[in-house]
Amino acid sequence: MGSDFIIDVSDLTKIYRDFPAVNHLNFKVKRGEIFGFLGPNGAGKTTTIKMLTGLIKPTKGTATIQGKDIRTQIVKIKKTIGVVTEDSNLYNELSVFDNLQFVGQLYGVPKSNLKKRIDELLKRFDLESKREAKFAKLSKGMKTKVIIAAALIHSPQVVFLDEPTTGLDVLSARILRALIKELKALGVTIFLTTHYIEEAEQLCDRVAIIVNGTLKTVDTPQNLIARTDSKNLEEAFIEITGLKEEIMLVEKEGKR
C-alpha cells in the first residue's frame, strides 16, 4: 500500500499474430511523478497504454497499478485511473455538461457530488461559458480541455495522457502543460506519451524510451542528456533510439 511505485510493469508483452508490438517491458512508475513514455511512431507506446488501461489484454507478462493486477482486477483499476486517448472520444452530439455527466455516471460518481464536481472542473478549465455548447462545436483546444476534464471527473490517482498536445495551438498546449504540472502538484501520477521531446524534457521527472516494442532506457532527462553527452533530451533521444543515422541520411538527401 505504501509502496513508492504506483505502476509496476513486469515482462509486459503484446504480440499481434507474429508481430511483437510490445516486447517484454519492465519498468516502474513512482507515485506522484510525471513519467514520460517516449518513442518513435509505431514503437508500442499506445499499445502499452492500452494494456495498462484495460483496453486490450497482454499476450504475456502483466502490470500492477496501485498493487492491482491488470489481468485480474482491471475493473477496480479503472476506477482509480483517468485516460486521455490520442483521439477525442466524447460524444459530438452531447453538450459539454452532458458529456461530463455521462462519464461521471459511468465512473459511479455519486449523484449528490456530480454536479458540484462538473462545476468545479468547468471553472478550473475555464469552460463555464461552454457548459451547454455541443462538443462538436468546440475548438480543438477546448475539446482537449473537456476530454481532460472528463478523465478527471472521478478524481483519479493516475492519469494516462496519450499525445495530449498533438494538434493543439501554442497557447492551448501551454495551458495544458501548466495543467499537467498542476495535477502533479495535487499528487496525481501522470503517465505521458508525447512526440514533442522538448515537452517531455520540460515536464517529466523521468522518461522511458521504447523502440520497436523494446524498452531502451528509463532515467531522468538530465541523466539521459549527461549519459549521451547531448545538449538536450531531443539529441539524447535521437542517440538512444538510433535515429541519428536515419536523420543524417535524410539531411544528406535534402542537400542534393
Partner 1 sequence: MFKEEVKGLLYIALKDLKMYYFKPPNVSWGIMFPIVITLAFILRNPSDAKDLASGLIAMSILFAATSAEAIVIVFERRTRTFERLLLAPLSLQAILFGKVIGGVIFGFIMSSVFLVGSVIFLGVPFSNTIFLLASLALSVFVFSAFGTLISVAVKEIFDATTLANFFRFPMIFICGVFIPVSALPSFLHPIAYVLPLTYSVDLIRFFITGSYDIVQPTVCVIVLIFYSIVLFYLSVWVLKRRIEQ
Site of interaction with partner 1 (CB under 8 A): 16, 53-57, 75-76, 78-79, 83, 85, 87-94, 102-103, 105-108
Nearer to partner 1, 85 or 172 (CB): 85
Nearest residue to 173 via CA among 208, 199, 192: 199
Minimum CB separation of residue 85 from partner 1 in Å reads: 6
Q: How far is the CB of 80 from partner 1 (least distance, A)?
A: 9
Cα R_g (the chain), whole angstroms: 19
- Supply the minimum distance, in Å, between the C-beta of residue 158 and partner 1: 13
- Smallest distance from partner 1 to CB 63, Å: 16
Q: What is the DSSP string of the chain?
A: ---SEEEEEEEEEEEETTEEEEEEEEEEEETT-EEEEE-STTSSHHHHHHHHTTSS--SEEEEEETTEETTT-HHHHHHHEEEE-SS--S-TTSBHHHHHHHHHHHTT--HHHHHHHHHHHHHHTT-GGGTTSBGGGS-HHHHHHHHHHHHHTT--SEEEEESTTTT--HHHHHHHHHHHHHHHHTT-EEEEE-S-HHHHHHH-SEEEEEETTEEEEEE-HHHHHHHTT-SSHHHHHHHHHT-HHHHHHHHHHHH-
The distance of closest approach from Cβ of residue 256 to partner 1 in the complex, given in angstroms and rounded to an integer, is 41
CB closer to partner 1 out of 76 and 174: 76
Residue 13 or 88 having the CB closest to partner 1: 88
Distance spanning both ends of the chain, measured CA to CA: 60
As measured in angstroms, the least distance from the Cβ of 78 to partner 1 is 4
